[in-house]
Amino acid sequence: MTMLAYHEFSRTPERDVYSLPSETFRRHARLVDGLSGARSCITFDDGHRSQFDFAAPILDEMRLAGIFFITTAWVGLLPSVMCWRDLRELQQAGQIVGSHSHTHPMLTACGPVALRNEMTVSKEVIEQRLGVEVDSISMPGGRINERVLMACGEAGYKRVYTSRVAERKRSTGNLPEVIGRYIVRGGTSDRTLAAYLDGDPFVCRRLEMESRVKTVAKALIGDSLYHRLWRKAARSGAYGS
């Protein structure tokens, strides 16, 4: 199954590599709409307000469903993030709201108590606020290991979403299913996305390799330095696709 992940949207192009113009997302949604069955799914991380303003109306227009992963501590605190009324409206329109942890730490760096709280508090808050079961969570920064996966299962999550392209692990015992996603960036071309959605073996292998290199780089130099270097390269055009 092809999985896509988005972050922010705007009316016009912006310098942030994770931000897309709304018309670009409309073209992407058309590509997804052209696929048969459930071969693809659109997801969103962080709960940015622009997802409600720009992406949700396009999903409604095309009758597409998405999963909106939110960081619960940010809701009602950060003006750039959707409020509970927005999230309720999304849920009532048939969209799915999932967890992106409670405070958005790198979960692999959390101690046992903090890790448990990040999992359970976020799940409980969403369920209490929206009155729906929450069984999906996406990993902040895409960081995951066996300890985090076990904590997800103990908290009651059935599906865990990462940022590793094409990663897939079936649920075994108390461990949830692991699903990798392709993180769509402002520099992602329509051609690349169309080829990925169509299962082009060359493009899929290239994106998988890029994803693996990023994972190794994060582990070697740390998330903070990696993201500073990656954003600088992306803005210069050296990391387009």
pLDDT digits (tens, 9 = 90+) for 52-93: 999 999 999 999 999 999 999 999 999 999 999 999 999 999
68 touches 79 (CB < 8 A): no
Percent of the chain's residues with pLDDT above 70: 88
Name the average pLDDT for the chain.
89
Tell me the three state secondary structure of residue 21: strand
- 136-138 and 66-70: which strand pairing? unpaired
Q: Which residue has the higher pLDDT, 197 or 229?
A: 197
What are 138-161's pLDDT values in tens digits?
999 888 999 999 999 999 999 999
Position 235 scores a pLDDT of 47
Residue 62: the pLDDT is 92
The 10s digit of each residue's pLDDT in 155-189 is 999 999 999 998 899 999 889 999 999 999 988 99
Question: Rounded to whole angstroms, how far apart are CA atoms 151 and 104?
Answer: 15
Q: Show the tokens assigned to 30.
A: 């058309």
| Per-residue 3-state assignment (H helix, E strand, C coil) for 48-109 | EHHHHHHHHHHHHHHCCCEEEEECHHHCCCCCCECCHHHHHHHHHCCCEEEECCCCCCCHHH
